[in-house]
Structure 1
Amino acid sequence: MLPVDPALYALFLATMAVMAITPGPANIFAIATGVRAGPQAALLGVAGMNAANLVWIAAAALGLSALVHAFPLAFRLIAIIGGLYVAWLGAKALWAAWRDKVAPFDVGKGADLTSAFRDGFAVQLSNPKAIVFFTAVLPPFVDPLRPAAPQLALLGATMIAMDGVAMSGYGIAGGALANVLRKDQARRAFSALVGALLLMASALILLRD
């Protein structure tokens, strides 16, 4: 027997599918990471974002919605810090393209792999889309007449699986582009594109309530 109501779970699957494929800061970050450092780094970035999702699931179990309403400035500050960090990553990529300092793509090597998980975690922890999901979208799918923990565990696992597939698809697509970038001019152009994508993600984080 499912720990959640089957009808509610079916509706959750449909809602989650739409949210997973809708472009947002996380999907944009996955594309940018794939373009910059290849599929392996993109998947590590997705792992970092899903680690942040585990934090949000734990927070939801502790009453995240009530905390957001009680301490809105604290959550806004988290979003601002994350948004500025993503903006810094984007500005760095644009600066490298402008100064013609874009290194050849060493797919699967170097500092990009080291930082991909950390950057993905930071992006998702400050992602307004994640905050909205766990405070407004998820609670209506939790049946108050059933034990909360098993429901949150199943809904959270479903969300991570569907979100992970969607973000991995975006990231691998970006990685496929990186594999064909061999000319210096092409690398500069894509570094500028990565910078623009990251700045777009930053704007989504900073300007969204």
Structure 2
Amino acid sequence: MDFHYWLIFVATVLGVSLIPGPSTFIAFAHGATNGSGLTTFTALGNATASTLQAIAASAGLGLIITSSALLFMAIKYAGAVYLVYVGIQIWRSAAQGLPPGSHDTRQSRPKQLFMGGFSVAISNPKAIAFFTALFPQFLSATGNSTTQLAIMVVLVACCAFAVAFFYGCLGTWVRGLELSKTLMSRVHQATGGMFVASGIGLALSKND
């Protein structure tokens, strides 16, 4: 595949990833709470989940999931419930005047941030469906398909990390504005509300 096709592929993945959603919300919340340094672990969690989803799509598991209505619906509703749960937790933390994850020790915080980014990203079954539909569009018949898919998976991981880290830095920037405690609480409440809305939206969305 020519270089300009790889650029189009990266632009497509970045364009979709930059659209605000659960993964960007959690990165923003972690950035606002912990700073961009620790949010690197959130970005790594997001990238790991995206990599696994891309590998699943490359291996054909995406076709199995999208062709099985029962399996897809089970994953979909489990993900929706988890997003609502995360939103409620963030909202409650803000209401108590505590940032999400503030009860964690410094030693365990990186793991908590990683798992937060990973869990939110992996809970979206539509990512596998997206990769399943996207990858064939950029496969070249003249090249080695395995190599091309491997490159796509690596690029997906890099894009997922970059986007999550960008939103984490955005959250860090908001924290750097030294907003009042009340206003920062409103920011976290709004983030929690977006998680709940995302979960409900996922549950009510159609499967096509």
TM range (shorter): 0.7 to 0.9
Q: Tell me by how many angstroms 1:105 deviates.
A: 9.0
> Are residues 102 and 54 of structure 1, via their aligned partners in 2, closer, same or farther at CA, if it must alter by over 3 Å?
same
Question: Which blocks of at least 5 consecutive residues in structure 1 are unaligned?
Answer: none
Q: Tell me by how many angstroms 1:40 deviates.
A: 3.1
> With structure 2 as the length reference, what TM-score do the two structures score?
0.81
In structure 1, distance between residues paired with 2:182 and 2:4: 53
Find out whether 1:202 has 2:194 as its counterpart: no
Given that residues 84 and 195 in structure 2 are in contact (C-alpha distance below 8 angstroms), is that contact kept between their aligned partners in structure 1?
Answer: yes
Q: Say what the alpha-carbon RMSD is for the aligned residues.
A: 2.9
Q: Tell me by how many angstroms 1:163 deviates.
A: 2.7
Find out whether 1:119 has 2:116 as its counterpart: yes
Q: Tell me by how many angstroms 1:182 deviates.
A: 7.0
Of 95, 102, 108, 2:98 maps to 102
In structure 1, distance between residues paired with 2:7 and 2:180: 48
How many matched pairs?
205
In structure 2, distance between residues paired with 1:197 and 1:189: 12
**Structure 2 residue aligned with 1:9:** 6
Of 93, 100, 120, 2:90 maps to 93
- Code of the residue aligned with 2:98 in structure 1: it is V
Q: Tell me by how many angstroms 1:80 deviates.
A: 1.9
In structure 2, distance between residues paired with 1:95 and 1:200: 16
In structure 2, distance between residues paired with 1:13 and 1:96: 36
Q: Say which is worse superposed, 199-208 or 19-28, in terms of deviation.
A: 199-208
Q: Tell me by how many angstroms 1:179 deviates.
A: 4.2
Q: What SS does the corresponding residue of 1:102 show, helix, strand or coil?
A: coil
Alignment of 1:43-192 (within 5 A): 43-98=40-95, 100-102=96-98, 109=106, 112-181=109-178, 183-192=180-189
Give identity over the alignment, percent.
Answer: 24
Displaced runs of 4 or more, over 4 A? 103-106, 179-183
- Code of the residue aligned with 1:192 in structure 2: it is Q
> Are residues 11 and 202 of structure 1, via their aligned partners in 2, closer, same or farther at CA, if it must alter by over 3 Å?
same
In structure 2, distance between residues paired with 1:205 and 1:170: 21
